[in-house]
Amino acid sequence: MRTIIVDKDGKISFKEIPMPEYTSKQALVKIIACGICNGTDAKLIHRKFKGVPLSEYPLMLGHEGVGEVIAVGSEVTSYKLGDKVLLPFVDADPEVHGDLKSYWGAYSEYAVVHDVKAYPEGEAPECAYAQTVVPEDIDPVDASMIVTLREVLSSIKRFGIGAGDSVAVFGCGPVGLTFIKFMKLLGVGPIIAFDIVEKKLKDAKKNGADYVFNSNDDPVRDVRSICPGGVRFVLDAVGLTSLINLSMELVNDQGKMCCYGIAPVTSMNIDWEKAPYNWGLQFQQFPSKVEEGEANDQIISWIHDGTIDLKDYISDYFDFDDSLKAFEKLEKREIAKKGIIVYR
> Structural domains in the chain?
2-134+309-342 (3.90.180.10), 149-284 (3.40.50.720)
How do residues 189-218 score in pLDDT, each as one tens digit?
999 999 999 999 999 999 999 999 999 999
Confidence of residue 264 (pLDDT cuts 50, 70, 90): low
How do residues 133-162 score in pLDDT, each as one tens digit?
999 999 999 999 999 999 999 999 999 999
End-to-end CA distance of the chain: 13
Q: What DSSP line would sit under 212-268, residue for residue?
A: EEETTS-HHHHHHHH-TT-EEEEEESS--THHHHHHTTTEEEEEEEEEES--S----
> Residue 171 and residue 213: Cα distance in Å, rounded?
11
Give the CA distances from residue 4 to residues 101, 151, 167, 341, in Å, rounded to whole numbers and listed in that order: 12, 23, 39, 11
- Stretch 9-33: mean pLDDT, rounded? 95
Pairing of strands 110-114, 26-36: antiparallel
Q: What DSSP line would sit under 66-120, residue for residue?
A: EEEEEEE-TT--S--TT-EEE--B----HHHHTT-EEE---SBSEEEEE-GGGSP
Which of these ranges, 66-75, 223-232, 275-284, has the smallest mean pLDDT?
275-284
Give the CA distances from residue 70 to residues 144, 200, 229, in Å, rounded to whole numbers and listed in that order: 18, 41, 57
pLDDT at 42 over 90: no
Say what percent of the chain tops pLDDT 70.
99
Count Cβ atoms below 10 Å from residue 214 Cβ, excluding itself.
Answer: 14
* Amino acid letter, 281: L
